[in-house]
């Protein structure tokens, strides 16, 4: 019987070597299929943060099929003086972190949050989708039901106008309370809920108001709220004189 000497393997060395070979083969398989964590994360960032072109509203209306932003304007409530809680925020889809570690195709969760980023990207751009058979291109009417798809009367235009978005089954309004923050894959963000915030006069508070933002119909890039307001007729002539 051979005696022990330096270099002789002891323990379950064969099982350990087989396990390491299996890990290497699994790594190569996932890399070839693009399923490694770093690869999935890179694809997620590419899609989520990819710049999106908003639909251009030349008539001032929002239409089915339009790609828009949903903005909760800066809250002016006196109790919310913290600068971190101020400013415009946009509705955005959330991401389940556990899906990054799964071999299943990446999917956006049904969760929502509000982010301070107001430039249109894959995460905060939504499509106005019909639920009653309205054709793409038809204007969205006040009180008409619709769906928000991620990246499908009154005289008021809706676009760039403060509106209330109500959940059909609970009759509660979409809101950003700005007092609750959540941590997601993207950092600290505002929680989005359905709740009717009413003041002493039974009128909705700023937390419940949203604006549907469309693309800039002019030659300049950007969104409609970023455009300077038109000057009154003859105003430029007075300045020139």
| pLDDT value of residue 237 | 37
| pLDDT value of residue 239 | 32
pTM of the predicted structure, to 2 decimals? 0.61
Determine the length of the chain. 241
pLDDT one-digit tens code per residue, 209-233? 888 888 766 555 555 555 444 333 3
Q: What is the DSSP string of 153-212?
A: --S---TTSEEE-B-TTT--BEE--SS-EEEETTEEEEE-EE---B-TTS-B-GGGEEEE
pLDDT one-digit tens code per residue, 147-193? 888 763 333 447 656 778 888 888 899 998 887 777 777 778 888 99
Strands (E), 73-158: 89-93, 112-115, 125-130, 146-150
Residues 68-83, mean pLDDT to the nearest whole number: 77
Better-scored residue on pLDDT, 74 or 217: 74
The Cα–Cα gap between 67 and 54 comes to 5
């Amino acid at each position: 019987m051979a005696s022990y000497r330096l270099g002789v393997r002891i323990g379950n060395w064969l099982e350990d070597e087989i396990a390491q070979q299996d890990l290497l083969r699994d790594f190569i398989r996932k890399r070839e299929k693009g399923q490694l964590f770093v690869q999935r994360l890179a694809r997620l960032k590419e899609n989520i943060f990819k710049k999106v072109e908003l639909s251009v509203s030349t008539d001032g209306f929002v239409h089915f099929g339009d790609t828009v932003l949903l903005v909760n304007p800066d809250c002016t409530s006196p109790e919310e003086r913290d600068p971190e809680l101020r400013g415009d925020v946009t509705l955005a889809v959330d991401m389940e972190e556990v899906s990054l570690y799964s071999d299943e195709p990446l999917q956006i969760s049904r969760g929502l949050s509000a982010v301070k980023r107001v430039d249109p990207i894959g995460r905060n751009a939504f499509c106005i989708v019909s639920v009653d058979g309205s054709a793409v291109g038809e204007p969205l009417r006040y009180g008409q039901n619709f769906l928000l798809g991620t990246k499908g009367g009154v005289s008021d235009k809706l676009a760039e106008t403060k509106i209330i978005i109500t959940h059909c089954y609970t009759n509660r309004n979409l809101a950003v309370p700005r007092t609750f923050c959540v941590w997601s894959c993207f950092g600290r963000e505002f929680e989005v809920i359905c709740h009717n915030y009413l003041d002493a006069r039974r009128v909705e508070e700023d937390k419940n108001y949203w604006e549907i933002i469309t693309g800039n119909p002019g030659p300049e890039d950007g969104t409609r709220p970023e455009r300077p307001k038109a000057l009154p007729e003859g105003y430029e002539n007075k300045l020139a004189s």
